[in-house]
Amino acid sequence: MGEHALIARIRARLPQAPGFVVVGIGDDAAVVAPERNLLEVLTTDCQVEDVHFDRTFVGAADIGHKALAVNLSDLAAMGAAPRVALLSLVLPAAFPVSSVDALVDGMAALAARARVFIVGGNIARSPGPLIVDVTVTGSVHRRRVLTRGGAHAGDELYVTGTLGGAALGLRTLQDDPASGGVAVERYRRPEPRTRFGLMLGRNRAARACIDLSDGLADGVRQIGEASGLGAIIDAGALPIEEGATLRDALAGGEDYELLFAVSPRMRSRLRHARRLVSDLAVTRIGRLTSDRAMLLSRNGSLEELPAGFAHFS
């Protein structure tokens, strides 16, 4: 199938674009009307075969879901509402059209729930791995932007959901590609915390926020570095996924939960945000310190917080 025919096929599987999309898929570029008085948030993230996923136990629909989810997670960490997405596919010659369909359908199902519209993209041939690169834009009020910086010493650190599930799920699939269960779903279909990120920003409950792509320890270090602070994490308080280890939670990566810093004086704002997104657990796991050491409190003693998962070394 030629490039133009494949683009037409993908376009036919996607819902019609809303009115703010002036030119959608099929021209040299997409054209959209910006949201008045809001800032635009832009992020891109790439899923690479044999680095981020293994096609023997991750289906095309899962890949489509995850390639969008990891970008939506970045928007959530900024407190932004998703708006439009661009899909760049680099396809091996042997990748069947039915798998392109499944990939697009997996992405489109999440896109519909997140109210983000795929308005364009690109298709190229790959001499090797399947690569799915997604760019997403969102919008946010200027005073509601959440960054990694801006936290103060004494702020309390919280995480959404559970930790370590994705690492456990990956290990489970590596042992047996046919296995299923909660952890496997956490790995295959991470759920971006879009609504909660929006609430944290609207409420101005959080002073700093990051999404956990490379493990809790990496996230804590990123917020600490950006804010010029250290941290003490309480190992006993971590909401570890059933069956996962402390190491999975700290350094496993790919949980895509939000880690954020809240001033003790803003706990009531946080309570309000939690009531609005009541199906999501939120757990206090430590605090930021003026001393820049990164520490883990475990069984009554303090140790160095381990490094996170390194994608690239």
Count other Cβ atoms within 10 Å, centred on residue 7.
Answer: 18
Per CB under 8 A, the list member of 65, 69, 74, 232 interacting with its own copies is 74
Minimum distance from CB of 226 to its own copies (Å)? 8
- Rounded to a whole number of angstroms, the minimum distance from the CB of residue 240 to its own copies is 24
Q: How far is the CB of 211 from its own copies (least distance, A)?
A: 6
Judged by CB under 8 A, does residue 138 bind its own copies? yes
Q: Is 119 in the site for its own copies (CB under 8 A)?
A: yes
C-beta of 40 vs 176, nearer to its own copies: 40
Distance of alpha carbon 279 from alpha carbon 289, whole angstroms = 30
Say whether residue 264 binds its own copies (CB under 8 A): no
228 binds its own copies (CB under 8 A): no
Closest by Cα among 187, 195, 146, 148 to 164: 187
Q: Is residue 97 at the binding interface for its own copies, with CB under 8 A as the rule? A: no
Regarding 46 and contact with its own copies (CB under 8 A), the answer is: yes
Report the distance separating Cα 34 and Cα 153, nearest Å: 37
- Cα separation of 9 and 26, whole Å? 11
Largest CA distance in the chain: 63
Among 140, 75, 158, residue whose Cα is nearest residue 110 = 75
End-to-end C-alpha distance for the chain, whole angstroms: 38
Binding letters toward its own copies, positions 76-95, x by CB under 8 A: -xx-x---x-x-x-xx----
Give the tokens for residue 16: 């019609």
CA distances from 144 to 97, 139, 207, 288 (A): 42, 10, 10, 21
The reply on whether position 123 binds its own copies by CB under 8 A is yes
3-state SS, residue 130? coil
Q: Convert 124-136 to b/e letters by CB count within 10 Å (16 or more is b).
A: eeeeeebbbbbbb
Show the binding pattern over residues 189-218: x = contacts its own copies (CB under 8 A), - = does not: --------------------xxx-------
Is 116 an interacting residue with respect to its own copies (CB under 8 A)? no
Cβ nearer to its own copies, comparing 242 with 304: 304
Interface with its own copies, residue 290, by CB under 8 A: no
CB-nearer residue toward its own copies: 219 or 244: 219
What residue has token string 């298709």? 123
Q: What is the contact surface with its own copies in residues (CB under 8 A)?
A: 1-3, 6, 22-23, 26-35, 38-46, 48-52, 74-75, 77-78, 80, 84, 86, 88, 90-91, 119-129, 131, 133, 135, 137-138, 140, 142, 145, 147-149, 209-211, 226, 310-313
